[in-house]
Amino acid sequence: MALRSQLSWLDRIEYPFRSNFLATPDGNMHYVDEGSGEVILFLHGNPTWSFMYRNLIKRLSKEFRCVAPDYIGFGLSDKPFSVSYLPQFHAKNVETFIEKLALRKITLVIHDWGGAIGMSYALNHPENVERLIVFNTSFWPVKGIMSVEIFSSLFGGPLGRLLCRYFNAFPRFVIPYAFGDKSKLTKSVHRHYIEPFPTTESRKGTWVFPKAVVGEGEWLATLWEKRRRLVDKPVQFLWGLKDPAFSTRELNRWKSAFPNHRTMVFPDVGHFVPEELGPAAVDPIEAFLKANPSPVARNAESSYIGHDKWNTG
């Protein structure tokens, strides 16, 4: 497939990564796989894709293996109209993706719907997740929060379906609305979120997610009930305080569930934290990773030190 020639809008200087594809029963899942070493798995939300993590991947891939899939229906992956696009669908695909690539001892980076999707895997396979890096997200039911119910009803209902399908509403209008500093969303960057959805049928996934905010509350409740399986994992929160969707209320709930955490808040950053912070997110993440080495890294270091001492006699 001559992907490069088909994607004339894709800036390969901004996003210089080799494209990989995993065949699934519902189409080809695109992913980035850069660097080597411990695995960092980046999971996006709606309506973003691996492009959002490009600045982190460029830097962190010098020391780590950075893997970032685009869910079916998003980014450079196939977008069949016939699938459900429910978060459970994506969670199952992510689990298969991790198994097929044999990803082990993962540091999980999550944002937006990547929170519930990633936590679904982590809660079912806590032994394979070493650390969590959390941008604005949640993984619990939100029924009863009026503003959230209104949002879900509007964008997940008939009007939302029309706006998403015929006006590409989420990337065109919701992304700039949710930025804390709108000057950071350049036309060039914004284009990379609009262009992956060129047709009315390709946009179904962007509509299903807001509907699921309330509609999939029972599934979200099952995730929250299992939260103690990860209670001892080290967690880094990087939280934008100008987010219209996720406030300090959600951050505090995260912090109460995971006491082994570091927290950085950004007063002028909105919802799309990795995009808004860009390279500025790298230093706190590197500091967190070094302060919380995985058992694999600790064992390797111990082996090296022991070997070095033996050699010097």
Residues of the chain above pLDDT 70, percent: 93
In the annotation, is 271 catalytic? yes
Question: How open is the CA angle 250-73-68, to the nearest 5 degrees?
Answer: 65
Amino acid in the structure at residue 55? N
**307 annotated active-site:** no
**Catalytic residue, candidates 26, 33, 78, 112:** 112
Write phi, then psi, for 292 (nearest 5 degrees): -130, 65
Q: What pLDDT digit, counting tens, does each position of 77-92 carry?
A: 999 999 999 999 999 9
Length of the chain (residues)? 313
Surface-to-core class of residue 158, CB atoms within 10 Å of its CB (0-12 exposed, 13-18 middle, 19+ buried) = exposed
Residue 148, pLDDT score? 86
* Per-residue pLDDT at 2: 44
Rounded CA gap, 228 and 45, in Å?
24
Q: Where are the domains of the chain?
A: 3-312
Backbone torsions φ then ψ of 39, nearest 5 degrees? -90, 130
How does pLDDT run along the chain (313 residues), one tens digit per residue?
445 447 899 999 999 999 999 999 999 999 999 999 999 999 999 999 999 999 999 999 999 999 999 999 999 999 999 999 999 999 999 999 999 999 999 999 999 999 999 999 999 999 999 999 999 999 999 987 888 888 888 888 999 999 999 999 999 999 999 999 999 999 999 999 999 999 999 999 999 999 999 999 999 999 999 999 999 999 999 999 999 999 999 999 999 999 999 999 999 999 999 999 999 999 999 999 999 998 765 554 444 444 333 332 2
Q: Where are the beta strands (DSSP E) in 141-191?
A: none
Spatial CB neighbours of 125, under 8 Å, sequence gap ≥ 6: 95, 98
For residue 121, what are its two tokens?
């895997």
Paired tokens of 169: 């509403």
Query: Model confidence over 233-258: pLDDT tens digits?
Result: 999 999 999 999 999 999 999 999 99
DSSP secondary-structure letter at 174? I
Query: Residue with structure tokens 């969707």?
Result: 245
CB-based contacts of 47: which residues, under 8 Å, 6+ apart?
74, 170, 171, 174, 175, 193, 196, 197, 205, 206
**Which one of the listed residues 243, 261, 307, 308 is annotated catalytic?**
243
Q: Which amino acid is at 75?
A: G
Residue 111 falls in the annotated catalytic set: no
The residue from 70, 271, 307, 308 that is catalytic is: 271
List of E strands, the chain: 20-24, 27-34, 39-43, 65-69, 106-112, 129-137, 235-240, 261-266
Asked if 196 contacts 76 with a C-beta cutoff of 8 angstroms, the reply is: yes
The pLDDT assigned to 145 comes to 84
Record: fold of 3-312: Rossmann fold (3.40.50)
Closest CA to 168 of 204, 192, 211: 204
Give CA–CA dist 71/75, Å, rounded: 7
Q: What is the pTM of this model?
A: 0.93
Task: Quote the strand ranges of 73-226, DSSP E.
Answer: 106-112, 129-137
